[in-house]
């Protein structure tokens, strides 16, 4: 990978972004956050993140989630598992532990490097 990998967090709360920045940025992975998917679509048009973390409980349009981030692996976080998942998606049920989230993101990033 030529540039540093990017992780996009789509969550109304900044807690997940704060933790991921503290853990991943020293490892060379940049972390950004948008409050919702519509805001994210406007700010990230020019560069697709390598991994997208989406808090499903804060999002009302799951079809938008399916179409917008189809190119990047996604970590979906919520209280209810989505009906359809593919191999490029991971689901973490709330409440989740941050070390588990970091491990899943790192696995997805490592998979990107191997591809």
Tell me the three state secondary structure of residue 105.
helix
Torsion sign (Cα): 97, 25, 8, 109: negative
Give, in order, the Cα–Cα distances in Å from 32 to each of 49, 79, 114: 9, 23, 23
Q: Where are the domains of the chain?
A: 6-114
The two beta strands, 51-55 and 6-10, are: parallel
* 6-114: CATH, from 3.40.50.2300, 2.60.40.1930, 3.90.1150.10, 3.40.50.1010: 3.40.50.2300
Q: Strand pairing partners for 76?
A: 54, 91
Q: What is the pLDDT along the chain (115 residues), one digit of tens a residue?
A: 457 899 999 998 999 999 999 999 999 999 999 887 766 766 655 678 899 999 988 655 554 455 566 678 999 999 988 776 677 889 999 999 999 999 999 999 998 766 5
């Amino acid at each position: 990978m030529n540039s540093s990998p990017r992780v996009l967090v789509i969550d109304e709360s900044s807690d997940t972004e704060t933790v991921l920045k503290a853990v991943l940025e020293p490892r060379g992975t940049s972390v950004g956050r948008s409050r919702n998917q519509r805001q994210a679509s406007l700010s990230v048009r020019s560069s697709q993140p390598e991994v997208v973390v989406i808090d499903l409980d804060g999002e009302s349009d799951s079809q938008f989630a399916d179409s917008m981030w189809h190119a990047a692996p996604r970590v979906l976080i919520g209280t209810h598992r989505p009906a359809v998942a593919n191999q490029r998606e991971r689901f973490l049920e709330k409440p989740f532990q941050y070390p588990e989230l970091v491990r899943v993101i790192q696995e997805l990033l490592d998979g990107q490097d191997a591809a």
